[in-house]
Amino acid sequence: MGSESSDPRYASYPRGPAKGTPDQLEALADGYYSLSKVCLVSAVIFLLELILLGLIDPTILIVGVVYALTAFIVTWLSLDGCTKLAKGFGEPASNAIAAAILLGIATPLFVGFFQFAVTLQKAVAEIEGYGVRKRFLSLVRREDIAAVVGKMRAATNGRFDGPPVPNTGPTT
């Protein structure tokens, strides 16, 4: 079978990334980096929670207050990253709020760290769909993302209304 460019059944124009807009890619990257930091902060909070509860003789009330406080802090910290990821995925803001609440509730039980891992992996997979190369341990670099965003914007002169259309010159 012939190549697409020589086959008259196919249009011969460059096809851009099939994912979304440069703004969505930037939102995904911002959300990814924000939630990565929140995951590390959550780990520290979780360890401090364990140390605090180990040092005192906790009652059910104290455990509940520490749990609720940890859940609130992690939810509050996660909200920004989840909002950016929702924008990048093209999902409504209500999904971001639900994701942040779930991360906050699950973190004091240690299950939240698995949720962070799954959420971050999903973001990396989506970012990779734009053509950004992932690195060791599925990490993505800001420079690689900025390069792809720059290419997307250059191909569309700063606008993104769909795939880029080549300039073929004057038609007569």
Q: Is residue 167 part of a domain?
A: no
Q: What is the mean pLDDT of the chain?
A: 83
Whether the predicted pLDDT of 9 surpasses 80: no
Q: Is residue 7 part of a domain?
A: no
Q: Is residue 67 part of a domain?
A: yes
Name the pLDDT band for 1 (thresholds 50, 70, 90): very low
Residues 53-68 have pLDDT tens digits of 888 888 888 888 989 9
**pLDDT for 25:** 92
Give how far Cα 122 sits from Cα of 35, 62, 158, Å: 12, 36, 27
Check residue 157 and give left, alpha or beta (phi > 0: left; psi -120 to 50: alpha).
Answer: left
**pLDDT for 154:** 85
Cα 56 → chain centroid: 38
Is pTM, for the whole model, over 0.95? no
Whether the predicted pLDDT of 137 surpasses 50: yes
Instruction: Give residue 106's domain range.
Output: 22-155
Q: Is residue 136 part of a domain?
A: yes
Give how far Cα 11 sits from Cα of 3, 5, 103, 127, 165, Å: 12, 8, 46, 27, 11
Q: Is residue 141 part of a domain?
A: yes
* Count of the separate structural domains present in the chain: 1
* Contact residues for 141 (Cβ-Cβ < 8 A; gap 6+): 135
The two tokens of residue 124 are 């990396």
Between CA 107 and CA 39 the distance in angstroms is 9
Residues 80-118 have pLDDT tens digits of 999 999 999 999 999 999 999 999 999 888 888 899 999
Between CA 132 and CA 25 the distance in angstroms is 10
The arithmetic mean of pLDDT across residues 159-167, rounded, is 52
Q: Is residue 105 part of a domain?
A: yes
Answer for the pair 157, 65: CB distance below 8 angstroms, yes or no.
no
Instruction: Give the percent of the chain with pLDDT over 70.
Output: 80
Answer for the pair 79, 97: CB distance below 8 angstroms, yes or no.
yes
Q: Is residue 63 part of a domain?
A: yes
Q: Is residue 123 part of a domain?
A: yes
**pLDDT for 102:** 94
Tell me if residue 132 falls in helix, strand or coil: coil
Name the pLDDT band for 2 (thresholds 50, 70, 90): very low
